[in-house]
Structure 1
Amino acid sequence: MKAHKILSSQILKKKKPKPVVLIHHGHSLFSALLSSTSQPITSDQSQSPSPNACQTSQISPAVILESVRSSQWHFIEHQSPNLDPSLISTVLFNLHKTPELALQFASCIEFHRLDIKTRCLAIAVASRLPSPKPTLQLLKQTVSSDIASVTVIFDELAVARERLGISTTILFDLLIRACCEMKRVDEGLQCFYMMKEKGLIPKIETCNDILSTFLKLNRTESAWVLYAEMFKMRIKSSIYTFNIMINVLCKEGKLKKAKDFIGFMENLGVKPNVVTYNTIIHAYCSRGRVEGARLVLNAMRSKGIGPDSYTYSSLISGLCKEKRLEEASEMFEKMKEMGLVPSAVTYNTLIDGYCNKGDLEKAFCYRDEMVERGILPTVSTYNLLVHALFIECKMGEADDLVKEIGERGLVPDQITYNILINGYARCGNVKKAFSFHDEMLTKGIQPTRVTYTSLIYVLSKRNRMKEADDLFEKIMSKGITVDVVMFNVLIDGHCANGNMERAFSLMKEMDKLNVPPDDVTYNTLMQGHCREGRVEEARQLLDEMKRRGIKPDHISFNTLISGYSKRGDMKDAMRVRDEMLSIGFNPTLLTYNALIQGFCKNWEGDLAEDLLKEMISKGITPDDSTYLSLIEGMGNIDHSVESCNSS
């Protein structure tokens, strides 16, 4: 028989209650005093206390304390609804020297049901534990429950701190850390100033928590305001503090000031470490300034600080971004020669670089090297390779690689599925694209805007515009934010299918949803008009683009030139070409081909040949289309001459 089942409200006839001994397997566990005005209960009742008995009994703190110390958790859980805040507080206070038991007690009586005062006392007792994790967890629960504002929580923690005689600032420091980890940094900062008002100095680690959170949230100005306040309060910065502030300068793009800051910290007696220099090197490389990063690397070495794997990974990444892949590979080999172990991230950087170059052989070599060195390819590794295979239209190899992901025990992520859906969409495989969409849902992976854009694209390319429109409406009803790219894909589908009315209605919908059109939107609509021979309407769209501050590009001008040329309006076509030149755009192969084709159709072969010479002089190589237009033009001239002779 369990002990908590045989403990009941012992009713005593005398004014002075007798001790009730709880027997468990023949051993006396504790003596408890229970007082009541009811009649004594029977032995059956003692084994299973009635609800009424539980509600009317007054349980003393001594009973609960002995229950905690003898691990009678079932009994405490059973009596939990009857324990008032005063009793719980008394028990918690008496357990402050054994915080592990206090934490178990708080959990057993359901911490989330306690009032704010009792919660804060429980948190204060838990703060005596060697690890801060339990206290942090309780603080997060309390802050997120919105039972009270952070200001009230701070005040109640101050009361509990005083009651328990805690001399350190740990409770407030942990409250600030909890706020920062929950991204409620403004409330953390509020606590910082409340500490200041009480004459308490936060630990430097606490200040670093706030600074670091501001950095993650890109609130660099707030970080500087706090840093200045720390300086006024004479809170001594640690190496971690300086590294955060250097990172802040790097995020602001102030790389020279970041380098100068190293001198400032050295003057204050704090030596920079590898993280300090890595932060600046990474900032230079991410902005494509590898040579600047090399100078920082040299300064780092001059101070006797050796580069690590992260240093080289940043430099390799920077070189790959600048498409200096051979140098990146050389640096990678040097890194390995130094005994530094590259991470999966470093390999992925090189794989990405060679995939973008179209050198899949080299990309797969790095994947194989990873495996040989015992570095497991990540989902990102496979995502890069699968995407590259789709671009090369190597569908079978892409499918094999997808199977390999599962064989290695890796779980495809949102990006994997988006790559697969986009790849099959571009190949026009509607069935396969939608099957991966369904698989996403089955695995609990939510499709994104990118997913749906790819699906609308494949439907549009297959002229299934009704389904594309239905899917678009479904997306809108789900509350998914649509962007200009999705609108452009749908508009392009309707333009290609000759439904200009629907295309322009979508543009109006963009305005309603505050989705500004871009040059692609206008180019698509212009192409739709030109396809139907309505070049003047296309011209009006170009003018509208300019009025809205959207810069036309080569496609905009080439669309009009092609439209006028097909219609035989070569003066208008050349006028657009001149306009194109006036704003700094050089004609492209498409420009010349459209003009040459137009002049040849108008039997103006001499002008067409002049344009051919001009394009060659500008370093533009003619293609088959160029020569085909010229040949057809010569045929037109010959046919015209024959007609004249016969007449």
Structure 2
Amino acid sequence: MKAHKVLAPQILRQQKLKPPVLFPHRHTLFSALFSSTSQPITTDQSQSPSSEITPELLVESARSSQWHFIKHHSPNLDPSLISTVLFNLHKSPELALQFISHIEFHRLDIKIRCLAIAVASRLSSPKPTLQLLKQTISSDIAGVSVIFDELALARERLGISTTILFDLLIKACCEMKRVDEGLECFYMMKAKGLIPKVETCNVILSTFLKLNKTESAWVFYAEMFKMRIKSSIYTFNIMINVLCKEGKLKKAKDFVEFMENLGVNPNVVTYNTIIHAYCSRGRVDGARLVLNAMRSKGIQPDSYTYGSLISGMCRDKRLEEASQTFEKMKEMGLVPSAVTYNILIDGYCNEGDLDKAFGYRDEMVEQGILPTVTTYNVLIHALFMESRMSEADDLVKEMGERGLVPDQITYSILINGYSRCGNLKKAFSFHDEMLTKGIQPTRMTYTSLIYVLSKRNRMVEADNLFEKILKKGVAVDVIIFNALIDGHCANGNMERAFSLLKEMDKLNVPPDDVTYNTLMQGHCREGRVEEARELLNEMKRRGIKPDHVSYNTLISGYSRRGDMKDALRVRDEMLSTGFNPTLLTYNALIQGFCKNQEGDIAEDLLREMISKGINPDDSTYLSLIEGMGKIDQSVENSNSC
């Protein structure tokens, strides 16, 4: 007779070769392990008949960590068997969780999944349960209402008295940004007479806030009030944040008094939320009043408080005040973070004071605060804006020496910077490096590359790159189209430029005034002023308001052609729409009248522009000198006749 194989040798040792009496079933663990045979015992499990697999055997295998045995037989385990094992392990949730991980959770039906989730909910940490819930929700094996009902059955079977299963289900929905389904579970709990924890309600409110569904947050908050779910300090802070997001800053301050009347004292987070809202809207003085109110309640500001104030001051270009506040913060013993330093560095970079910006960078290093990638991004961008290319390169090297890896923004800044100065080779070398490191270029990156190709008249490459980014699924915008259209217009390829305009319509990218101005300039460059005039009319039909550039383009076009009546008509139209003539307007008109040998009118225009406070430039005087020279030559020719 062929010997039966030993399925779990460790169990054998634990039982000391005695048949177990734990399960009084016909096929005991002992009979599964042994048979009357003189053949040698082997640990090969591959020949074990699945009919011998019992709940008792699986439970003991789990308790003795025979996971290889369980995993081997998992494809043949029927739902009833798995359900029994989970039930028998429910008082050992750690073992149950390991059992679940070895039987391929994703293959289980909704009933067993929910039983497994219910067992896992007995763990001290909610993380495994949340993970299983998210897997179940995202698998679309059943709708959230079915999951809720099955969890309710499992909860009843296991005798779980708390609401933890439903609370975690709501939390899982919210973390997956499926807050409407979480809300559905909330109302299903209410229908069963169960009251969710306030922490669960806070998760729903917080998710509404993150998704900018402020109206839904208020509706839900009112429901909490009706159900007499007592708000915590965290609840009130969320609702104050909702008011701030809605821009209702006065109501946010009034809400503090409301919570105090309900016996809940505000904390530093409460006031920081309001202060941040004031500062982000440029109302630093209002934020200072809130700071004073905060101190009057005995609540001391922290680093976040001062960080918000400093950020607001920098945004408002009150840099000296920001620096003073920063010093006061340090005097109070508060340690600035890299974020606070970055805010100051960015503020001074925007003002062009790079000495002060680098001074703060050096200070943070002295204080043992390591500069971040953001620190370098801000400084590199500022150096590029001042065309200090070699110093920008040095900073990139310094980043590497400090172990900092350039991110998507870093590369975009580098590519944009070198594109602006026309260094095509350097710009594309950073693009290639970016791809090598697995960093996807941004739309801004592609715009910069198309811009530099267009400026270098390499329009075939620019078009090819544009096609590549379309195939990649990058959402192109009007700026990319304008860069391409400008390049083709500058190269006299108006047909391609207008085909791009049609493509914008197909991709639902609305053209703007820059698009039309560029096309008008292309037409005028070729002397096709009537076509340019029609584009101005098309702009108006599309609801795009022409600007100075639009009118000056037409005036220049007519003036170059000597059609001064049309040029003056456009000038009058420009005035009627509220735009005053600029230096470019006068230069174009003066050049046109001089070309027509109407020097008197040109001189009148010169006096007019000076009276309006517009100073003539070299181009103005050059047109007048050339015009007068032509008039003198014309008089000489007339006299000689």
TM-score under structure 2 length normalisation: 0.92
2:523/2:531 contact within 8 Å kept: yes
CA distance in structure 1 between the partners assigned to 2:501 and 2:389 by the alignment: 35
**1:536 maps to which residue?**
530
Q: Indicate the SS of the match to 1:47.
A: coil
**2:54 maps to which residue?**
60
Q: Does 1:47 align with 2:43?
A: yes
Q: Does 1:262 align with 2:250?
A: no
Q: Does 1:124 align with 2:124?
A: no
Q: Does 1:140 align with 2:134?
A: yes
Q: CA deviation at 1:101?
A: 1.9
Q: Does 1:100 align with 2:99?
A: no
Moved more, 92-101 or 542-551: 92-101
Q: Does 1:490 align with 2:484?
A: yes
Match of 1:283 among 260, 277, 282: 277
Q: Indicate the SS of the match to 2:49.
A: helix
Match of 2:557 among 556, 563, 570: 563
Q: Does 1:372 align with 2:361?
A: no
Match of 1:394 among 388, 391, 404: 388
CA distance in structure 1 between the partners assigned to 2:280 and 2:556 by the alignment: 40
Letter in 2 for 1:481: A
Q: Indicate the SS of the match to 2:517.
A: helix
Alignment of 1:185-264 (within 5 A): 185-264=179-258
CA distance in structure 2 between the partners assigned to 1:529 and 1:350 by the alignment: 47
2:179/2:208 contact within 8 Å kept: yes
CA distance in structure 2 between the partners assigned to 1:497 and 1:27 by the alignment: 92
Match of 1:412 among 406, 417, 420: 406
Deviations 1:71-102 (A, max 9, x none): 22222223323332222222222222222222
**1:75 maps to which residue?**
69
Deviations 1:293-337 (A, max 9, x none): 223223323323222222222222222222222222222222222
2:6/2:41 contact within 8 Å kept: no
**1:165 maps to which residue?**
159
CA distance in structure 2 between the partners assigned to 1:40 and 1:614 by the alignment: 120
Q: CA deviation at 1:635?
A: 4.1
CA distance in structure 2 between the partners assigned to 1:284 and 1:370 by the alignment: 27
User: How many corresponding residue pairs?
Assistant: 631
2:45/2:69 contact within 8 Å kept: no
Q: CA deviation at 1:440?
A: 1.6
2:6/2:33 contact within 8 Å kept: no
Moved more, 411-420 or 27-36: 27-36
- Tell me: CA distance 1:620–1:140, structure 2 relative to 1, closer, same or farther (3 Å): same
**2:495 maps to which residue?**
501
CA distance in structure 2 between the partners assigned to 1:380 and 1:128 by the alignment: 43
CA distance in structure 1 between the partners assigned to 2:496 and 2:108 by the alignment: 60
Match of 1:33 among 18, 26, 29: 29
TM-score under structure 1 length normalisation: 0.91
Match of 1:302 among 290, 296, 301: 296
Deviations 1:321-375 (A, max 9, x none): 2222222222222222222222222222222222222222222222212211122
**1:361 maps to which residue?**
355
CA distance in structure 2 between the partners assigned to 1:280 and 1:389 by the alignment: 35
- Tell me: CA distance 1:394–1:169, structure 2 relative to 1, closer, same or farther (3 Å): same
CA distance in structure 2 between the partners assigned to 1:47 and 1:600 by the alignment: 106
**1:177 maps to which residue?**
171
**1:13 maps to which residue?**
none
Percent of aligned pairs with the same amino acid? 82
- Tell me: CA distance 1:298–1:624, structure 2 relative to 1, closer, same or farther (3 Å): farther
**1:625 maps to which residue?**
619
**2:24 maps to which residue?**
none
Q: CA deviation at 1:181?
A: 0.8
Letter in 2 for 1:554: H
Q: Does 1:429 align with 2:423?
A: yes
CA distance in structure 2 between the partners assigned to 1:368 and 1:394 by the alignment: 19
**2:445 maps to which residue?**
451
Deviations 1:19-45 (A, max 9, x none): x99545996698452668998677457
CA distance in structure 1 between the partners assigned to 2:118 and 2:520 by the alignment: 69
1:123/1:139 contact within 8 Å kept: yes
- Tell me: CA distance 1:222–1:361, structure 2 relative to 1, closer, same or farther (3 Å): same
Letter in 1 for 2:6: L
1:530/1:563 contact within 8 Å kept: yes
- Tell me: CA distance 1:388–1:634, structure 2 relative to 1, closer, same or farther (3 Å): farther
Deviations 1:444-477 (A, max 9, x none): 1122322222222121111111121122222222
- Tell me: CA distance 1:227–1:21, structure 2 relative to 1, closer, same or farther (3 Å): closer
Q: Indicate the SS of the match to 1:235.
A: coil
- Tell me: CA distance 1:204–1:621, structure 2 relative to 1, closer, same or farther (3 Å): farther
CA distance in structure 2 between the partners assigned to 1:503 and 1:486 by the alignment: 13
CA distance in structure 2 between the partners assigned to 1:38 and 1:101 by the alignment: 26
Match of 1:115 among 67, 84, 109: 109
1:22/1:30 contact within 8 Å kept: no
Q: Does 1:344 align with 2:338?
A: yes
CA distance in structure 2 between the partners assigned to 1:224 and 1:184 by the alignment: 18
Q: CA deviation at 1:289?
A: 2.3
CA distance in structure 1 between the partners assigned to 2:32 and 2:97 by the alignment: 30
1:426/1:458 contact within 8 Å kept: yes
Q: CA deviation at 1:206?
A: 0.6
**1:7 maps to which residue?**
6
1:370/1:377 contact within 8 Å kept: yes
CA distance in structure 2 between the partners assigned to 1:133 and 1:483 by the alignment: 41
CA distance in structure 2 between the partners assigned to 1:611 and 1:318 by the alignment: 47
Q: Indicate the SS of the match to 1:362.
A: helix
Letter in 2 for 1:492: D
1:34/1:60 contact within 8 Å kept: no
Match of 1:594 among 583, 588, 591: 588
Q: Indicate the SS of the match to 1:131.
A: coil
Deviations 1:84-129 (A, max 9, x none): 2222222222222222222222222232232222222221122122
CA distance in structure 1 between the partners assigned to 2:327 and 2:640 by the alignment: 77
Deviations 1:477-513 (A, max 9, x none): 2322222111111111110100111111111111122
Deviations 1:212-243 (A, max 9, x none): 11111111121122111111111111111111
Letter in 1 for 2:205: L
Q: CA deviation at 1:248?
A: 1.4
1:54/1:79 contact within 8 Å kept: no
- For structure 1, the 5+ residue unaligned runs are 10-19
CA distance in structure 1 between the partners assigned to 2:364 and 2:378 by the alignment: 15
- Tell me: CA distance 1:76–1:551, structure 2 relative to 1, closer, same or farther (3 Å): same
**1:578 maps to which residue?**
572
**1:292 maps to which residue?**
286
Deviations 1:139-190 (A, max 9, x none): 1122122222211111111111111111111111011111111111111111
Alignment of 1:315-354 (within 5 A): 315-354=309-348
